[in-house]
Amino acid sequence: MGFAPVNTPKIPSAFWVRWLVVVTLGVMVFGLVLVVAPGLAREGFSLLVYGDRQQIATFGSGALQYIGLVHVVLGAVMFGWGLALLLVVRGLFARGTREGWQIVAVSVAAWFVPDTTFSLWSGFWQNAVLNVVFIILFAIPLAATYPKFHRSHP
């Protein structure tokens, strides 16, 4: 009777790998929209936060320029983070290594906790709601694959 070695990874379902690839591509596309369509991004956040697509446009030209810069920087960071996550998901995670699962989970938590906490603290609960949508999309496959990556050792 043979037993598999303790360090042999268990490959997660291709369904969950594809799910995470799609969600990660969504993060990347969202980041690119912030970079290449700053007007659309500004109007979208204005609608999300103020319920009016044009509210942010009334802040003045200096504020609009700065908001545009922040959106582009945020979008570039999101695109880069998404690309790194994509490589991890298609590599370490898909091969069943515990580090792959941990990198995805920890990086998503490292974004979610401070971003959502500050959003709520500063009164911009709408951004926190948007964050919850993203975290759920990551949490479902992470929860589903947790047993594969964190099995107990004999």
Q: Is the pLDDT of residue 154 over 50?
A: no
What would the two tokens of residue 2 be? 């043979």
Q: Which residues contact 32 (CB under 8 A, 6 or more apart)?
A: 75, 79
pTM for the full predicted model = 0.85
Which pLDDT score is estimated for 1? 52
pLDDT exceeds 90 at position 151:
no
Q: Which two tokens stand for residue 84?
A: 């790194």
d(CA 105, CA 30): 20
Closest CA to 31 of 77, 64, 85: 77
Average pLDDT over residues 131-143: 97
pLDDT at 144 over 50: yes
- Residue 59: partners with Cβ closer than 8 Å, 6 or more residues away: 67
> What's the pLDDT tens digit per position in 74-123?
999 999 999 999 999 999 999 999 999 999 999 999 999 999 999 999 99
Token pair 């596309």 is found at 29
List pLDDT tens digits, range 9-57: 689 999 999 999 999 999 999 999 999 998 899 999 889 889 889 888 8
Sign of the Cα torsion 14, 84, 140, 152 reads positive
- Rounded distance between C-alpha atoms, residue 54 and residue 71, angstroms: 16
Place of tokens 């969504």: 26
